[in-house]
């Protein structure tokens, strides 16, 4: 009995020592399953896994012909506003206007409407050039909002949050012939250009991408 | 098949983007080399009679009319201390708007009424009225440099009302514009420690009048400024945070 009780006491003392000393001597860690939090976010209801785009958002994949039709209609509306502006300006310069404040309010209102239409037409033209694919510039604000929501739910200034991600391994990309180190043996711009072309894959070459990621605390940007 | 592969790639990119955005979630403002974390430490707003320099006015007219449409621009303002030096100030600018003759008209009447008074003249002037002018003075310290790097901003808010009595398409527009001047320096605003002086808008964009890259490199090497990470390349993050209303 005595022999068995020694390891139990030993383990108990170690446990007691650790449980007392951790909060005093070590940083407090929390953990989060980022993938689960992302999947739980309301915006993910709009996420189309097949296309990788968010429906009903500026990141949605669009039909090119629909965009062309929409732009034709918006251009017509824009022209009508411009004609109205000319008519209003002509009227104000030919005869006294009763209420100048009202005149300028209408000017500002039409100017704002025009700005919205011009932005929409410009965005649609860009989308047409991209075959209806909005690109990452439209993805960032969505991701930013999602991250902010997730951050708020996780935020605790006393804790460093450890992330459990991902649950699957990413296949290492085939980088044969694209390694920039070849440049040291054969200094050729082609090697560097080839390396840069594959920078997307190279960016995934963090050796611990399949391990827990330690986020730095806010303000410690290195 | 290539499409399916692209979608898989997009899904992976989405996940990586989430990591990246989270890791860079703190808003920072950078110059071409250094990463600043500007903290507003002083702000003051003063109503002023007239804009100091007609940067917004020049920008608005050049944006609307790429070619000369008139040989006279009438600037309707309360005359201020810099009004007599308008021609001298304009000499720093180029383009047809700066080359055209500007006349200062006291704002006793509305721009519409002033424009109407030229109805019978053959060559109609372009009327530009500036009112609701405010000068905002702001001082920022860069937390990334232990508050040694400082930025002084002079921002000028104005409401512009422009009228042009063109026979075919007369034009009347209102704009709320902001122009600003920014001086960034290390510790003291004296020669040798000034990092940059820039202004907005020149041709519709921010323009850098002076930049001392050697000084920035020196301060970065001594770790007095924080080096901008290669991945932080937001082109809109060069200046300063929004000023209070």
Classify residue A198 as exposed, middle or buried by CB count within 10 Å of its CB (0-12, 13-18, 19+).
Answer: middle
- Pairwise pLDDT comparison (A103 vs A15), residue with the higher score: A103
Check if B167 contacts A (Cβ < 8 Å).
Answer: no
Report pLDDT digits (tens) over B135-158: 999 999 999 888 999 999 999 999
Domain coordinates of chain B in residue numbers? Answer: 2-221
Report pLDDT digits (tens) over A102-148: 999 999 999 999 999 999 999 899 899 999 998 888 888 898 888 88
ipTM, interface predicted TM-score of the complex: 0.71
Report pLDDT digits (tens) over B179-189: 999 999 998 88
Q: What's the mean pLDDT in B50-79?
A: 84
Question: Which segment, A13-27, B22-36, B158-172, is predicted with the most confidence on average?
Answer: B158-172
- Pairwise pLDDT comparison (A140 vs B81), residue with the higher score: A140
Q: Say yes or no to pLDDT of A149 above 50.
A: yes
What pLDDT is stored for residue A65 in this prediction?
A: 96
What pLDDT is stored for residue B162 in this prediction?
A: 92
Check if B110 contacts A (Cβ < 8 Å).
Answer: yes
Check if A103 contacts B (Cβ < 8 Å).
Answer: yes
State how far residue B85 is from chain A, nearest Cα, in angstroms: 31
CB contact under 8 A, A218 and B25: yes
- Pairwise pLDDT comparison (A187 vs A53), residue with the higher score: A53
Domain coordinates of chain A in residue numbers? Answer: 2-164, 166-222
Mean pLDDT of chain B: 80
Q: Look-up: residue for tokens 């989405």? A: B14
């Amino acid at each position: 009995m005595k022999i068995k009780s020694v390891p139990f006491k030993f383990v108990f003392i170690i446990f007691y020592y650790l449980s007392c000393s951790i909060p005093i001597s070590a940083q407090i860690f929390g953990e989060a399953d980022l993938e689960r939090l992302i999947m739980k976010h309301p915006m993910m209801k709009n996420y189309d896994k097949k296309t990788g785009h968010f429906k009903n958002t500026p990141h949605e994949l669009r039909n090119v012909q629909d965009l062309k039709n929409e732009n034709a209609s918006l251009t017509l509306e824009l022209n009508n506003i411009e004609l109205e502006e000319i008519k209003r300006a002509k009227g104000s310069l030919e005869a006294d206007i009763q209420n100048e404040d009202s005149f300028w309010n209408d000017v500002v209102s039409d100017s704002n409407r025009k700005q919205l239409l011009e932005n929409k037409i410009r965005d649609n033209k860009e989308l047409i050039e991209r075959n209806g694919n909005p690109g990452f510039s439209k993805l960032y604000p969505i991701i930013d909002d999602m991250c902010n929501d997730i951050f708020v739910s996780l935020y605790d200034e006393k804790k460093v949050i450890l992330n459990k991600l991902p649950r699957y391994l990413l296949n290492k990309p085939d980088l044969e012939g694209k390694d920039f180190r070849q440049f040291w043996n054969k200094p050729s711009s082609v090697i560097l250009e080839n390396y840069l072309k594959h920078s997307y894959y190279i960016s995934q070459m963090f050796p611990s991408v399949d391990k827990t990621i330690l986020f730095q605390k806010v303000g410690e940007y290195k | 098949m290539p499409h399916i592969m692209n979608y898989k790639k997009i899904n992976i990119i989405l996940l990586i983007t989430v990591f990246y955005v989270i890791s860079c979630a703190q808003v920072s403002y950078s110059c071409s080399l250094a990463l600043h974390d500007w903290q507003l430490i002083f702000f003051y707003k003063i109503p002023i009679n007239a804009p100091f320099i007609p940067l917004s006015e020049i920008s608005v007219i050049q944006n609307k009319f790429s070619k000369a449409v008139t040989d006279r621009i009438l600037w309707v303002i309360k005359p201020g201390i810099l009004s007599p030096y308008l021609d001298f100030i304009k000499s720093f600018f180029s383009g047809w708007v700066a080359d055209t003759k500007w006349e200062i008209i006291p704002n006793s009447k509305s721009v519409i009424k002033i424009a109407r008074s030229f109805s019978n003249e053959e060559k109609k002037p372009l009327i530009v009225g500036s009112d609701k002018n405010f000068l905002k003075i702001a001082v920022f310290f860069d937390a990334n440099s232990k508050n040694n790097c400082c930025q002084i901003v002079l921002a000028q808010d104005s409401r512009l009302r422009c009228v042009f009595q063109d026979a075919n398409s007369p034009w009347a527009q209102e704009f709320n514009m902001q122009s600003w001047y920014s001086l960034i320096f290390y510790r003291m605003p004296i020669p040798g420690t000034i990092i940059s002086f820039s202004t907005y808008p020149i041709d519709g964009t921010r323009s850098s009048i002076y930049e001392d890259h050697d000084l920035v490199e020196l301060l970065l090497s001594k770790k007095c400024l924080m080096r901008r990470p290669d991945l932080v390349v937001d082109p809109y993050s060069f200046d300063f945070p929004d000023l209070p209303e």
